[in-house]
Each structure stands twice: as C-alpha cells, then as structure tokens.
Amino acid sequence: MERTKNKHKNVFLSFRLGKETFAVSVKKVLEVLQKQHITEVPDVPACIKGVINFRGDILPICDARLKFNMIVDPDEEKYVVIVLDLENNNQKMRIGAIANGVEDVISIDETDIRPIPEMGLKYNAEYLSGMIKSGEGFIMILDVDKVFTNDEVGEITKVTSEQV
Amino acid sequence: MVLVHDNFVKHFEPLKHGKMNNDDFSKFADKFVDDSHNLLNELEGKLLELEQDTSNQELIEAVFRAMHTLKGIGGMFGFDAISAYTHHLETIYDKIREGFLAIDKSIFEVTFASVDHLRNLLGDQDVKDPQLAARHSELTQQLENLAKSKQLYYDQIKTIENTKKTKETIQMSTWYIQFTCSEELIRRAVNITYMFQDLAKIGTYTIFKHTGKLDYEINEQDEVWGILLTSNVSYSEIEEVFMFVSDFVKIARHSNFDTNTQEAELDKKKEHLSIFELAQSAGEKLERGDALPDPAEMTNEQQILRRSSKIPRISVGADKLDKLMFLVGELFTTRSELVIASQSDNMAQVKLATEKIDRLSSQLRKNALSIRLVPLRELTLKFKRLIRDLSSQLNKNIDFEIQGDDTELDKNLVDNLADPFMHIIRNCIDHGIESPEERNAKHKPENGIIRFTAYQSGNYIYIQISDDGRGIDRDYIRTKAVEKGFVQHGTQLNDREMLDLIFMPGFSTAESLTQVSGRGVGMDVVKRAITDLRGSVEIETEKGKGTTFTIKLQQTIAIMDTLLIRSGDSYFTIILEEVEVCELENHQTFDKRQNSHVQIADDLIPYVSLRQAFSIEGTTPETERIIVIKRPNLHYAIVADSIVGQYQAVIKPLGSLLKRKEYLSGASIMGDGNIAFMLDTQKLCSKIA
C-alpha cells in the first residue's frame, strides 16, 4: 500500500540547467540516460539536437537550455538526457531533454508547493507550475507538457518589453 | 419488460463516477468505451439492414439485444447518461419487438441520430459540453414523445399481454447472480461484454451494485455487482454464460416467479420497498451458499499491472495467432540448437541454425504484419450510413454496391482512410449523381449507383469508388481553372493534368455551395491525406456516364524495401520503388553547371543535392552519386555522397516534435545503431533550386 502512503506527497526530480535548478514531477520521467551519441537531424530548429535510439524507438532530443536562451558549450563533456512522457491536447509524446545533471529526488507535501509570484519572474509563468523552497533559494517546477510541446525557441523567457 | 425503473435507480445510485476515477478501475471503463464503440457499430449495421427489411424479427431482436447490452454494461461502469439514454431507446424497441409498435421512418431517424449521439456521449460521459447537453435533452424528449404517442395502443394490448405473461411465468424463475469484478479479470482479458450479450439471450436482467454483506474480503478496487436474471433456463445454462469467470460468480435461484411482473405490481402500488429489498434478501440467501475461493490471490501483482489507457484494439483471426505461436515455438527450438552448436564450436551447425533463424524471422515479420491487417468492412459500414443519410437529405435515390470489402489493409491506414473516402463519396452524391427527375430525362435508371471496389494486386491495394452520375465536364474544369488563375488561358493540358486540377487547393466546381460539399476545401485535402499514406489517387471520368476514383495504397507501411544512401554523416533511405536509376558523376562537373540540371541518358533533369538542401558540413567527395527518382508527375534526381545499398527498413515515426520536418517521413534504426531518415521524395522536390 505504498501508494496510499504517498497520497499527499508529491515527488519531484530536480536537475540543473546551466546554473539554475528546476524540478519535474517524477510521474513524467521515464528514465535518465547518460551522454550518448546523438544522430543529428538535418534542417531542424537549433534546440532539437537530434534523435537517439531509445528502446527501439526514435526519440527526439531537445536541449532545454537553448529554449531558455542559456549559453551551451558545444564541447561539453558531461550531460544527461531525461526521458519525459508528455501530454498536450491529448497527444502523447516522448522526448529526451538535455540537462547538465540531475540533483535529487524531492518528496514534498502538496501544501509546501508555493504558487508562482506574479511579478519579478525571469521565465514565462505559463511554463512553471509552482516553486519549492530549498535552503536559501527556490526550485522552479517546470510544466514540461507546455515547455516542450512549444516549438518556439526563446519564448520561455519573458519578453521584457511586455512587462513595461 | 422494463428493467430499470426510476424507483430503482434512486434507490441504488448504481455506480457513481467518483468510483470510476479510481485509477485501476478506470481500465474497465476504457474497455467499456472500446466495446461500446464496437457495439454501436454492430447496432448501426443491424439498423441499416433492418431498414431494408423492417419485418425481420431476428434483426429487431438483434437491435434490441445490442441496446440492452449497452444499457446494462453502461450502468455497471457508471456511464449513467448512456445507460439512461439507451433505456429510452430500448423501451421503444421492446415495444416493436413485442409487436405493439410498428417501426416507421420517424423511428429510424431518431434511432440513427441516437447512435451518433451515443458515440458522442462515450467521449463526454458527464454531458459537460453544453451543445451535447442540448442535443441530449432534445433527443431524449423525442424518444419519450415517441414512446408516449404509441402509449394508447400499447395500453390496450397490455391486458392481453398480461394474460400471456401469467402463462409464461410458470416456467420463469428469477436467479440472483453475484459477480465480483476484480482486476484479475482484466489480467485474464475477459470480455465482459460478451458475457452480458449471452446473458441477454437467455433472459432479461437487471444489474445494480451489490449492497448486502459479503462473507469474503474484496479489494478496494473491486466491485461487486448483483444481477437479477429472469429466465426459463436451467442453472447449468446460466453457469455456462459465466464459464470463464466462475471464480468470481455465485449463482442462486431466488424465486420461482418473474421479478418483472412483480416489478409491475410494485409500480401500481407506488411502493418503494421494491427490488432493493428483494435483492438484499437474495444476497443473504446466497451468502449461506458456498464461499468463493480465497480472493487473496487476486491481490497479488496488482501493482505491476499499469497499462496506459486508450489502447486501440484489433481483433485478430485465431489462425494468425496459431501461426504466431508456431513460429515462436520454432524460433525457440532453433535458438537452443544455436546455443548448443556454438558451445561445441561446430561452425557448420551454427551456420545451419543461423539460416533457420533468418528464415523464421522473415516469416515472423510477415505474420506480425498480417496481424495488423483489418478488413475494409470497417470502412464500408460507415459509408453505408453516410450514403443513407445524404441521399435522403438531397432527395436522391442511391444504391451502394460493395465488392471486396474483405480485402485487408493495415489498421493505421484504414483508420486514416475514413475521412478522405467520406469526402469522395460526399462529392459523388452531391455533384455526381443526378436527381431522379434528371436521371429519368436522361433515360438512366432512377436509382443512382455508388460502387465500392477493393482488390489486392502484388504489394498494393486498389480501392475504387465510382458513381454513374454526370461525370466531370472537362471544359468546365478548364474554364474554372483559368478563371481562378490556376492555368494560363490557352495552356495545353493533357487529360490527366486537366483532371488533376480538381485536386488544387481552393478549386471547387460546385456552382452553389451546398451543405454537403463544395466549400472549396475538399479534393485537395483528399489528395494530401492519401499522399501522406504513400498512396496515389487517380480519376477517370466520362461526361454523362460517371466518375471513378482509384486509390492505390501499400498494404502496410511498417517495413519497406529501401535504398540506403549517405551524405556526410547522415544516412537516408529512399523507397526502392521510387528509384529509377543510379549514376556516378564527378563533383567538379556539378559545380560548373549553372542551371542545376543533370544529364541522364538523353534527358536533362533537375536535381537536389542533399548536402546543399540539409546544409550538411564537411568536404564533398570527388565523385557523387545521382539517384533518379521516378514517380507519377515527378522526375528529378537526388545527389548524395554514396550509396550504401539495399536495405529493409523498419520505419518508425519521427514523433510529433519532428513532424514538421516534412522532407523526412520517418526513420529507422540500422544494425550498427545509427539512425537513417526516410526521404519524402514528393516533398523534397520542392527543394530544387
């Protein structure tokens, strides 16, 4: 009866993108893979690094950092691929998201998830579903369904002019 | 015969949706939705037959049974709206079946509308959509009126019926069946729907949630249902229905009379004790009987079972599965042969076994593909319905002739073909077939014909839809095309090019917009949908005689013979049948050319260089390969670094993230783990500089 015990606990996987820490619900995570050869796909948006063979299926690999307008070292030695099961408009989709590394599995009470503040956010609030307090700072919970089903690069970062 | 009356529903609150939200249990609900769609298809088919032969008692019974089953299982799974709605329908067909109500056009109309409505309800069981809700109350009202309007007639006959019933009840008895619905049933893949269909054949039954005490423990997720069955059959016959689930069922005779008559009496007295207590006492009786086997077994492995919802199902002929089992058996025998041979270092034997495995795997592949094939009958049923509705709407008389609808096609293809075909048929009815008056004037038979023909030839499936209507007027197309600016005035077009004009986006030849077709979208959508499935459409038409659409498709698109080519580090595949010829050419000569054409034999044809088109980095080799593509209306060359060879590609979808990469239509994983992309030659040619 493991399930009933965790009924009101939410479990998240935290990971690093650049210097920042994000979290994603473990329900969405299928597996975390180590760096491996990625077959490039010609003529695609920059944030799609290519495809890999994942359990016999073609898995597109998306570099979330490019979506967040972060600078990526093209020769980086270490990264991980988080395999996510997404759902958007009833369409199921599986993708691999590149992250600098995974940090921790956090189990947290539903009541401890804080709402997104309206102001002063670097990222578009639409793509975040909450925040978790961690030490001095906060970990942002990504709504991966929305982040990765959106093709536009850089849209995640709020356009500053909009705020004025 | 009325099975769930209002008192009863209030008392029991059969199964509330809250319960259904339970994760594990919702799998049953998914299964229900799936089964219900099948049931509705079956119902629709029977209705169409019945419409042709309204006096056929067997068909009426079949229609009634399908409704009854739907209502019963709908209630069990908490699809209350469906259950309640079907109840109204069933009431009407019950009267028809008993001969109290004559079946007429208005009944058919509302029944067909109901079938559509029920399909919608399956997607929105709580009737949340306001439009659907409005439709729901409108149709319910119609059904109630229909039942009421014939009530007078019905009441008169009731007296006769009652006397008849008393006679019948002599052999009738009521059974109480306690049915434990547990996860184990899903694991065993038991088809509950069949069970209840069988049950409906032997008698009438009512289902409700068992509320009495249980003498054994059940799981949180498990449901216990009580079923009151009135029937004249023996214990063993009922037992037979539940043969496969006997562990979950307890059956006991409750009384030697028909509960339905009792129900009617209760109705009269307006008393509320009703079947609720009846059922309870029945349940208690039962509890004194044999205990069920230890249900603790059922709890095991419960966590393991986590199937994703909404799995489409295919029914497969047993022969194909037998063959599969045989092949798997053979494969394992050969595998152990191989293990033994490799342990003893016997090279000759290893080779022998490898060959055997090679042969077996190709047989296995064939078998696996055949399992995915479904007959086209799934489609023709939909068309029958469409033609029926449209012809009455447009006041045209149309006969639908079907030939070869047992031809099999990959399930995916069949699912995707429905829409384009519906569109073609809609066009045939709207533009093709003339009105009866016009036909008379032309000395044609009054009834128009739409013919569906399907056959297999080699690796291809041909599907033809033809009508004997007015045909397509070529001059009219030409005028229209010039008017719309698709072609220049005076351009010479051959017949094929001319007819292909109707596949242009925005080309609509209908003189006035009708409800049915002719909004300027249509034939181009048909063409695109079919091209997406790697098929082709052709039109033949003769003015005054009719039009034929021929669609050519590959039976399956999961595994294909391709040509594997390479440019830089990227691998690509091209469907072998699209390749006409391969040539060598020196890279230097390409660079010198200005007009981006290559000479092949005596022809100058345009080319697409993969390196240029996909901005592939690295140095281009001295000599490059030219692959000449030949498809109808398509003649150009692809330039690649090298040809790797012929390759049997298992095509995998690229996923929705890459769907917009339209030059690539799929990918396959090669033996060395690399991934090769399949080129869509149709779309790639737009890259010609």
pTM over 0.90: no
**Residues of chain B contacting residue A52, judged by C-beta atoms under 8 Å apart:** 675
Q: Mind telling me how many Å the CA of B653 is from chain A's nearest CA?
A: 7
Q: Mind telling me how many Å the CA of B639 is from chain A's nearest CA?
A: 15
Residue A72 vs residue A143, higher pLDDT: A143
CB contact under 8 A, A53 and B661: no
Q: How far is CA A103 from the centre of its chain?
A: 13
* pLDDT mean over B306-314: 50
CB contact under 8 A, A51 and B663: no
Instruction: Give the H or E element holding residue B181.
Output: strand B173-181
Per-residue pLDDT at B156 exceeds 60: no
Mutate to test the interface with B, among A48, A52, A53, A63 (most CBs of B within 10 A): A53
- pLDDT of B463 reads 92
Mutate to test the interface with B, among A37, A40, A44, A58 (most CBs of B within 10 A): A58
Give the nearest chain B residue to A40 (CA atoms): B570
CB contact under 8 A, A48 and B658: yes
Pick from B400, B435, B433, B421: nearest CA to B522: B421
> Can you give the residue range of the structural domain that contains A57?
2-163
Give the nearest chain A residue to B617 (CA atoms): A42
Q: Mind telling me how many Å the CA of B670 is from chain A's nearest CA?
A: 10
**Is the CB of residue B3 less than 8 Å from the CB of residue B12?**
no
Would you call B675 exposed, middle or buried from its count of C-beta atoms within 10 A (0-12, 13-18, 19+)? buried
Which one of B652, B656, B675 has the shortest CB-CB distance to A39?
A: B675
Q: Does B660 touch chain A (CB under 8 A)?
A: yes
Q: What is the CATH number of the domain that holds A73?
A: 2.40.50.180
CB contact under 8 A, B570 and A42: yes
Domains held by chain A: number? 1
C-alpha distances in angstroms, B405 versus A80, A119, B37, B380, B399? 51, 62, 20, 7, 16
State what percent of residues in chain A have pLDDT above 70. Answer: 82
Give the nearest chain B residue to A52 (CA atoms): B675
Per-residue pLDDT at B266 exceeds 80: no
- pLDDT of B511 reads 46
Mutate to test the interface with A, among B675, B677, B679, B687 (most CBs of A within 10 A): B675
Tokens describing residue B543: 């003015």
Query: What is the Cα–Cα distance from B479 to B487, expressed in whole angstroms?
Result: 10
Tokens describing residue B181: 């619905």
Tens digit of pLDDT for each residue in B556-581? 666 778 899 998 888 999 988 888 88
* pLDDT mean over A90-115: 85
Query: What is the Cα–Cα distance from B106 to B453, expressed in whole angstroms?
Result: 32
Pick from B557, B575, B590: nearest CA to B680: B575
- pLDDT of B9 reads 36
- pLDDT of B632 reads 64
Q: Does B663 touch chain A (CB under 8 A)?
A: yes
Could you tell me the end-to-end alpha-carbon distance of chain A, in angstroms, rounded to an integer? 52
- pLDDT of B464 reads 92
Asked which of A23-27, A49-53, B240-244 is least confident by mean pLDDT, the reply is B240-244
State what percent of residues in chain B have pLDDT above 90. Answer: 3
Residue A21: φ, ψ to 5°: -110, 130
Give the nearest chain B residue to A37 (CA atoms): B674
CB contact under 8 A, A51 and B675: yes
Per-residue pLDDT at A66 exceeds 70: yes
Token pair 């600098």 in the structure block, residue: A100
* pLDDT mean over B310-337: 83
Q: Mind telling me how many Å the CA of A68 is from chain B's nearest CA?
A: 18
- pLDDT of A83 reads 93
pLDDT classification of B359: cutoffs 50, 70, 90: confident
Query: What is the Cα–Cα distance from B490 to B482, expressed in whole angstroms?
Result: 9
Strand B546-554 to B536-542 pairing: antiparallel
C-alpha distances in angstroms, B295 versus B65, B82, B221, B435? 33, 32, 13, 66
CA dihedral B578, B581, B587, B588 (to 10 degrees): -130
Which one of A53, A91, A149 has the shortest CB-CB distance to B675?
A: A53
* pLDDT mean over B509-522: 48
Mean of all residue pLDDT scores within chain B: 74
Give the nearest chain B residue to A87 (CA atoms): B656
Contact residues, B window 301-320, toward A, CB-based 8 Å cutoff: 303
Residue B21 vs residue B189, higher pLDDT: B189
Residue B396: φ, ψ to 5°: -120, 145
Per-residue pLDDT at A86 exceeds 90: no
- pLDDT of B588 reads 62
* pLDDT mean over B608-613: 84
Per-residue pLDDT at B501 exceeds 90: no
CB contact under 8 A, A53 and B569: no
Q: Mind telling me how many Å the CA of B302 is from chain A's nearest CA?
A: 11
Instruction: Give the H or E element holding residue B394.
Output: none
* pLDDT mean over B482-496: 77
CB contact under 8 A, A95 and B655: yes
Token pair 């994703």 in the structure block, residue: B308
Locate the DSSP E strands across B458-578: 460-467, 536-542, 546-554, 559-567, 570-575
Asked which of A102-111, B26-35, B62-71 is least confident by mean pLDDT, the reply is B26-35
Tens digit of pLDDT for each residue in B78-133? 777 888 888 888 888 887 877 777 778 888 888 888 888 888 888 777 777 888 88
Would you call B667 exposed, middle or buried from its count of C-beta atoms within 10 A (0-12, 13-18, 19+)? buried
